[in-house]
Amino acid sequence: MKLYDCEPAPSPRRVRIFAAEKGLEIPTEQVNLRDGEQFSENFRAINPRCTVPVLETNEGNLITEVMAICIYLEELYPQPALLGEDAESKAMVAMWNNIAETDGLWAMAEAFRNSTPMFKDHALPGPETYPQLPELAARGRSRVELFLDRIDRRLEQVEYLAGDAYSVADITLLVIVDFTGWIKLDATAKRPALARWYEGVSARDSASA
Nearest to 104 by CA among 65, 147, 154: 147
How far is 91 from 162, CA to CA, in rounded Å? Answer: 9
What pLDDT, on the 0 to 100 scale, is given for residue 35? 94
Question: In 3D, which of 71, 66, 72 has the Cα closest to residue 84?
Answer: 71
**What per-residue confidence (pLDDT) applies to 160?**
98
Q: In terms of domains, do 62 and 102 share one?
A: no
pLDDT of residue 184: 94
Q: Is residue 39 part of a domain?
A: yes
Predicted local distance difference test score (pLDDT) of residue 70: 98
81 within domain boundaries:
no
Which CATH number fits the domain that encloses residue 10? 3.40.30.10
User: Do 62 and 111 have their domain in common?
Assistant: no
Residues 64 and 94 in one domain: no
Kindly state whether residues 99 and 120 are assigned to the same domain.
Answer: yes
Task: Tell me, yes or no, whether 133 and 40 share the same domain.
Answer: no
Write out residues in the chain with pLDDT < 70, as ranges: none
Question: pTM for this structure?
Answer: 0.97
Torsion of CA 32, 37, 39, 42, to 10 degrees: -130
Asked whether residue 105 falls in the same domain as residue 125, the answer is yes
* Neighbour tally for 79: CB within 10 Å: 9
- Amino acid 180: pLDDT: 96
Share of the chain above pLDDT 90, in %: 100
The answer on 94 and 15 residing in a single domain is no
Q: What local confidence, expressed as pLDDT, does residue 58 receive? A: 96
* 174 part of a folded domain: yes
Backbone angles phi, psi at 122, to 5 degrees: -135, 55
Same domain, yes or no: 21 and 57? yes
The residue from 48, 76, 104 where one domain ends is: 76
Task: State the Cα–Cα distance between residues 144 and 187, nearest whole angstrom.
Answer: 9
Cα torsion 83, 62, 103, 152: sign: positive
- Asked if residue 69 belongs to a domain, the reply is yes
Per-residue pLDDT, 13: 98
Q: What range does the domain containing 94 cover? A: 87-208
Domain count, the chain: 2
Q: Is residue 82 part of a domain?
A: no
User: Do residues 92 and 117 both lie within one domain?
Assistant: yes
Residue 109 belongs to a domain = yes
User: Which among 19, 46, 76 is the end of a domain?
Assistant: 76
Q: Which residue type is seen at 75?
A: E
What pLDDT digit, counting tens, does each position of 43-74 carry?
A: 999 999 999 999 999 999 999 999 999 999 99
